[in-house]
């Protein structure tokens, strides 16, 4: 039978093991049936699938522009997507066809692109049109227009473009950026591109700032190119 572990005709005992679901799916045309375990039942927004996941799960996101919803983590700064679990959120077809959009302009109604929490990873997205507040904590509410990461958060194989921060890091603030393109972002005080991040195999280019340091401020860089910033 289906529970006959040794095929002797008797049901195997229930050991109380955790049933690991593994993957949760996101599609703009999904059926939105919790906990989103198939493409047919996929969540229509990324946040719902993250909320249904557990640590070490993967959230798979198919093509589209994801520009609805929002949640604050620190203060009043709203993030379009909050990855507040140790999960991998991955775009299946890459940044050319899968985008997360925030909302401007800067101020209390602004929406940052993505918050990437401890031991979480955002992989393969374009993140654009993210903005920060003009008030609140400099680092947590006025920095990282595109993405804001905890120290162990990772952004990998992403394109961060067209984002704005009032304080620092128009494209990204903190965490690790790996194999990312950070371009044409803007900040008012420091670093149109990246702030306080570890850069690995990244390109930071064509970013601008009103104040100091167009490209990367208080970052470490490994095998990365930082050029043509203003």
Whether residue 72 contacts residue 106, with contact meaning beta carbons closer than 8 Å, is answered with no
Nearest to 83 by CA among 92, 71, 75, 95: 71
Q: Hey, CA dihedral for 181, 184, 185, 191, is it positive or negative?
A: positive
SS3 call for 188? coil
The proportion of the chain whose per-residue pLDDT surpasses 70, expressed as a percent, equals: 91
For residue range 138-152, list pLDDT tens digits in order.
999 999 999 999 999
Residue 179 — pLDDT band, cuts 50, 70, 90? very high
The proportion of the chain whose per-residue pLDDT surpasses 90, expressed as a percent, equals: 90
pLDDT of 79 > 80? The answer is yes
**pLDDT of 2:** 39
Residue 15 — pLDDT band, cuts 50, 70, 90? very low
**Does the predicted model carry a pTM greater than 0.85?**
yes
Tokens coding 85: 């679990």
**pLDDT of 32:** 98
Tokens coding 156: 């990998």
Whether residue 116 contacts residue 83, with contact meaning beta carbons closer than 8 Å, is answered with yes
Residue 7 — pLDDT band, cuts 50, 70, 90? low
Query: Is-cis flag, bond preceding 105, omega within 30?
Result: yes
């Amino acid at each position: 039978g289906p529970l006959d572990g040794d095929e002797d005709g008797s049901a195997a005992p229930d050991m109380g093991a955790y049933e690991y679901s593994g993957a949760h799916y996101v599609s703009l045309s999904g059926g939105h049936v919790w906990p989103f375990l198939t493409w047919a039942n996929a969540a229509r927004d990324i946040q719902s699938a993250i909320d249904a996941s557990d640590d070490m799960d993967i959230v798979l996101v198919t093509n589209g522009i994801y520009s609805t919803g929002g949640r604050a983590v620190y203060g009043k700064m709203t993030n379009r997507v909050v990855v507040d679990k140790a999960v991998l959120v991955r775009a299946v077809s890459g940044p050319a066809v899968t985008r997360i959009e925030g909302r401007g302009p800067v101020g209390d109604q602004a929406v940052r692109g993505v918050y990437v929490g401890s031991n979480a990873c955002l992989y393969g997205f374009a993140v654009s049109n993210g903005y920060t507040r003009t008030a609140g904590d400099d680092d947590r509410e006025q920095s990282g227009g595109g993405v804001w990461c905890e120290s162990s958060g990772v952004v990998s194989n992403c394109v961060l473009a067209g984002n704005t921060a009032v304080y620092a890091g128009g494209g990204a603030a903190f965490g690790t950026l790996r194999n990312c393109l950070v371009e044409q972002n803007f900040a008012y005080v420091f670093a149109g591109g990246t702030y306080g991040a570890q850069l690995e195999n990244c390109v930071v280019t064509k970013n601008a700032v009103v104040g100091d340091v167009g490209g990367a401020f208080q970052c470490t860089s490994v095998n990365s190119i930082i050029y043509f910033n203003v």
